[in-house]
């Protein structure tokens, strides 16, 4: 399927306090993960990694661009990497805002190392899923694009739950033609059964586009 799993996940650490940065980096590396540290949001954005894979550990309170601002920026830039907020404040309103804006998790300093690691791994997994999903979507789009217009029509009717006979009657073609179209669609769309075809379609409909 996808090549997501072959990528090495990296923990991106953004915190203005050097010791905090360093201690997290050290921890993460001890459990076998790659880590990159940045002293500020600006620094993070300045070194682009187009194929970021892993998760982001972010301190909310930083001079210059705050964690929250970075989060917004990333959202706007449609960067899907999950964000783990690490806050030294117990600053509830800020944290709530961050969560609403889609942060993956938040932890208070000083945090339990296992809790952080759990969150990191979960975030990495999530990212993988996201990436995988993205890839699948992309493939599907491609497949859909290769359908002819007649085939698209038939797919719609199939999705509506209509039988071949009804479809044939609707489109004023033979049942066999309908069945022939159906086989093609299934081939192009990489579906083994009609059920899958219908499922795919509904997935497409319900997924946020």
Partner 1 sequence: MQQPTFRTEPQGRAALVNLTPELVTSLDLRLTGSLGWEEICDQDRLSAVLEQGTLQSDVVLLGAGVDKPVAAAQHVHRFDKTISVLILVDPDHYAELRRAIMFSPLRGSEVSLWSSTDIDGLSGALMAAVERRVQRRTYLSTIASTQLRLGRLSLSQPEANRYLDHLLDHAPVGILSIDRAGLVLNLNRQAGQILGVVEREALGLPLADFFPQSERKRFIELITQSAAASTPNTAEVFAVRPAHGTVRFLEATASPLAYHVGQRGFMLILQDVTGREKAERERKRAEEDLRVHAGLLHVFHKITSAQGLAFEEKLIRLLRLSCERFKLPIGMLSRIDGEYHEVLVSIPGNGAFAPGRRYRPPDIYWGTCEQTADQVGSEEASDRDSAARPADPDSRLGAYIGVQVMVDGDIFGALCFRSIEPRSTPFSSTDREVLKLMAQWVGSELQRTKSEAHMRRLSSALEQTAETVIIADKNRLIEYVNPAFEQLTGYAKNEAIGQKSSFLRHDILEPSFYEKLWQSVSGGQVFRGVLANRKKDGAIYFEEKTITPMRDPEGKITHYISTGHDVTEKKNAEEAARRHQAELAHVARLSTLGEMTSGLAHELNQPLCAITTYAQTCLRLLSAENCSQSEVRYGLEQVVKQAELAGAIFRRLRNFARKGEFVRQRVSMRNIVAEVADLIKAELAQSEIILKVEGVRATTYVEVDPIQIEQVILNLIRNSMDAMAGNGAIDKNLTIRTEKIGKTEVKVSISDTGHGCRPEVVERLFEPFFSTKPTGLGIGLGLSQTIIEAHGGKLWLESTCDAGATFSFVLPSHTGSRHVNSEDKAANGLHRR
Closest distance of CB 126 from partner 1, Å = 23
Q: Which of 133, 144, 138 is nearest to 189 (CA)?
A: 144
Cβ neighbors of 74 (< 8 A, separation 6 or more) are 56, 81, 83
Output phi, psi for 135, to 5 deg. -60, -50
- Return d(Cα 146, Cα 155) in angstroms, integer: 13
| 109: helix, strand or coil | coil
Closest distance of CB 47 from partner 1, Å = 21
Number of amino acids touching partner 1 (CB under 8 A):
23
Closest distance of CB 197 from partner 1, Å = 49
Kindly state whether residue 61 participates in binding partner 1, applying the rule CB under 8 A: yes
Cis peptide before 110 (omega within 30 of 0): yes
Q: Measure the N-to-C terminal CA separation of the chain; round to a whole number of Å.
A: 21
Within residues 3-42, the interface with partner 1 by CB under 8 A covers 16-17, 19-20, 22-24, 26-27, 30-31
Within residues 142-201, the interface with partner 1 by CB under 8 A covers none
Nearer to partner 1, 39 or 130 (CB): 39
Closest distance of CB 116 from partner 1, Å = 8
Q: Which of 72, 142, 132, 138 is nearest to 102 (CA)?
A: 72
Nearer to partner 1, 2 or 23 (CB): 23
Within residues 94-153, the interface with partner 1 by CB under 8 A covers 109-114, 116
Nearer to partner 1, 23 or 132 (CB): 23
In this structure, the number of other CB atoms found within 10 A of the CB of residue 9 comes to 19
Nearer to partner 1, 35 or 201 (CB): 35
Footprint on this chain of partner 1 (rule: CB under 8 A) = 16-17, 19-20, 22-24, 26-27, 30-31, 61, 63-64, 88-89, 109-114, 116
């Amino acid at each position: 399927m996808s090549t997501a799993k072959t990528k090495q996940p990296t923990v991106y650490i953004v915190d203005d306090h050097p010791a905090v940065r360093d201690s997290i980096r050290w921890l993460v590396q001890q459990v076998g993960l790659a880590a990159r540290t940045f002293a500020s949001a600006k620094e993070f954005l300045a070194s682009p990694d187009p194929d970021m894979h892993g998760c982001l550990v972010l301190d909310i309170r930083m001079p210059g661009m705050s964690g929250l601002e970075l989060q917004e920026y990333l959202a706007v830039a449609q960067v899907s990497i999950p964000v783990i907020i690490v806050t030294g404040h117990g600053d509830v309103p800020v944290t709530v805002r961050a969560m609403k804006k889609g942060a993956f998790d938040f932890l208070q300093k000083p945090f339990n190392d296992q809790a952080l690691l759990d969150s990191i791994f979960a975030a990495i997994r999530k990212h993988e899923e996201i990436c995988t999903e993205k890839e699948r979507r992309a493939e599907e789009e491609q497949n859909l694009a290769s359908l002819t217009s007649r085939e698209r029509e038939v797919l719609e009717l199939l999705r509506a739950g209509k039988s071949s006979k009804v479809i044939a009657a609707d489109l004023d073609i033979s049942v066999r033609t309908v069945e022939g179209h159906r086989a093609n669609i299934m081939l192009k769309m990489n579906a083994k059964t009609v059920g899958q075809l219908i499922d795919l379609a509904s997935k497409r409909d319900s997924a946020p586009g």
